[in-house]
Amino acid sequence: MKLSMPRYDQATVLVVGDVMLDRYWHGGTSRISPEAPVPVVKVEQIEDRPGGAANVALNIAALGAPALLVGVTGRDEAAHSLTDSLHAAGVQAHFQRIDEQPTIVKLRVMSRHQQLLRMDFEEPFNTDAEALAAEVDALLDGVKVLVLSDYGKGALKNHQALVQLARGKGIPVLADPKGKDFSIYRGASLITPNLSEFEAIVGHCADEAELVSRGAKLMLELELGALLVTRGEHGMTLLRPDHGPLHLPARAREVFDVTGAGDTVISTLAASLAAGEELPHAVALANLAAGIVVGKLGTAAISAPELRRAVQREQGSERGVVSLEQLLVVIEDARAHGEKIVFTNGCFDILHAGHVTYLEQARAQGDRLVLAVNDDASVSRLKGPGRPINAVDRRMAVLAGLGAVDWVVSFSEDTPENLLRAVKPDILVKGGDYGIEGVVGADIVRAYGGEVRVLGLVENSSTTAIVEKIRSR
C-alpha cells in the first residue's frame, strides 16, 4: 500500500467525550521506606498532560489539524491545567463545568522511567446531555469528522443523539467504545475496539477467521460503516461490509508504554479521514502512529514531522533515489526538524575518488545533502557523443549508496535552475577553481537568502581524463 502524508491543515475534527488530566510525579528511588516494604520516591518534577478525549484532541492538533473538544470537568485546579495545556496546543476546548465534582485525574508515580503506582481521582459526572448535544450541534458546521471518545466516565450520556446530529449533516462518526453494550454506537461510521473489548461483546475468537465472521455480524446488527479491531502485538484488522478483511502488522520496534495508544489510533484515523484519505490508507497511517507512540513514556502526542518520517521510512524515501515530489516532502520534514539542506549537482558519469571526497566535503556544509544528476540526454549535450558511459539510473544507484548523500534526484535541463527554485536549499555548493559568480544558480539561491559556497577540486581526478585514458588503450 503506497502511503503519503495528508494535508491536515483544513481537516477539522470535533472530539466529544471523557476528558481527564494525566498527572506524573517523577523522582529518584534509592531506599525502602522504614514504615512499610515500599520504595521511597523523592518527587523532583510534576508534569501534567491532557488525557482521555483531551489527548485525542491534542493528538489531532499535533498533526496540524484544527481540533475542537467538548467535554465535562469540575471547576477546579485540574480543569484550569487542562484548559491551559489545550489552549497552548491550539485546541478549542468547550467544557461543561460541574460544581462540587472533581475533574478526573490519573496520578502516576514514576521513577527511572518506570510506573510504580497509579492513583485515580474520579466520580461519575452528572452530565447535562441535552446541553452537551446542543453545544456539539452548534460546533458541527465546518467539521469534517466527529469523534466519540468514550471512557465510560459519564460525559457521554446519549450517544445516539450525537451520532444522528452528525449523520444528519453528512459528517462521519468515529467511536472509541467502552462497556458491554455497543448498541449505543449504532449507525457510527467506524468503531475502534481493542481485542478484549471486541471479545467482551462477541465472545472469544479462536482465530482470525472467527474474528472476521463475528465482526461482520456485529457490523450488520449495528449498521456500522466499518470496524477496526486493534490487536496489540498482532496489529490491526479492518473490516468493512462487502470488502475483504485488511490485516496490518504491528509496527512498533520496541514497546515502552501503551498508555494512550488507542487515543493515537483514533486521532490519526480521524484527522486522516478529515483530510480526504481513503479508510485503508487512514488505518495504515494510524498503525504507523501507534508504532511510534508505544515507544514513548506515558500519554504522548505524535507530531506531523514524526509521522511524516515514518511514512518516508515506509516508502523507502528516507534516503536514496527520489522523485522531485518525494524530495519536496522529505525536505519539508527535514526543515521541520531544524536540518540545513545542502545542494550540489553534476554528471557523475564515472565515480572516482575526487567525486567521493567532494561529496563528503559538501555534506559537511550542512545536515542533509541533495545531489542532482544530469539525465542522459543533458549529459550528451554537455559532454558530446559517446557520453554518458553509464545510464542515469545506474549513476544514481551508485551515488545513493554513498554515506555522504541523502537524496539523489535527476533533471533533464542543462542546468539545475528549475530544481533550485523548487527545492530552495539553504546552501548551494559547487566544486571548481572559479568564483561564486560563476556558479550556475547562485543568483537564485542568494535572492531568497541562501548561501553559495565553492569547494576546491581534488587534483588528478577527472572523469574525462579517465575516459580518454581508457579509449587510448
Cis peptide bond prior to 280, omega within 30° of 0: no
The answer to whether 307 and 285 have CB atoms below 8 angstroms apart is yes
Q: Is 58 annotated as a binding residue?
A: no
User: Where does 227-374 have alpha helices with state H?
Assistant: 261-274, 279-293, 304-315, 324-336, 353-363
Indicate the helix (H) or strand (E) that contains 44: strand 39-52
What's the Cα-to-Cα distance from 153 to each of 20, 52, 95, 126, 211, rounded to whole Å? 10, 10, 15, 10, 28
Catalytic residue among 18, 263, 375, 376: 263
The rounded distance, in Å, linking the Cα atoms of 318 and 309 is 7
What would the grid cell of residue 105 be? 485525574
The rounded distance, in Å, linking the Cα atoms of 333 and 120 is 39
Beta bridge mates, 118: 108
What would the grid cell of residue 139 be? 460546533
| Catalytic residue flag (residue 18) | no
Q: Is 461 annotated as a binding residue?
A: no
CA-atom Rg of the chain in angstroms:
28
Q: Is 139 annotated as a binding residue?
A: no
What's the Cα-to-Cα distance from 421 to each of 221, 329, 363, 400, 417, rounded to whole Å? 56, 15, 20, 23, 6
User: What spatial distance separates the first Cα and last Cα of the chain, rounded to whole Å?
Assistant: 51
The answer to whether 182 and 216 have CB atoms below 8 angstroms apart is no
The rounded distance, in Å, linking the Cα atoms of 433 and 452 is 14
Which residue in this structure is represented by grid cell 475502534?
A: 192
Q: Is 418 annotated as a binding residue?
A: no
3-state SS, one letter per residue, for 114-151: EEEEEEEECCCCCCCHHHHHHHHHHHCCCCCEEEEECC
The rounded distance, in Å, linking the Cα atoms of 331 and 425 is 9
What would the grid cell of residue 79 be? 480543569
Beta bridge mates, 92: 68
Binding residues: 194-197
Binding residues for ATP: 194-197
* Residues with catalytic roles: 263
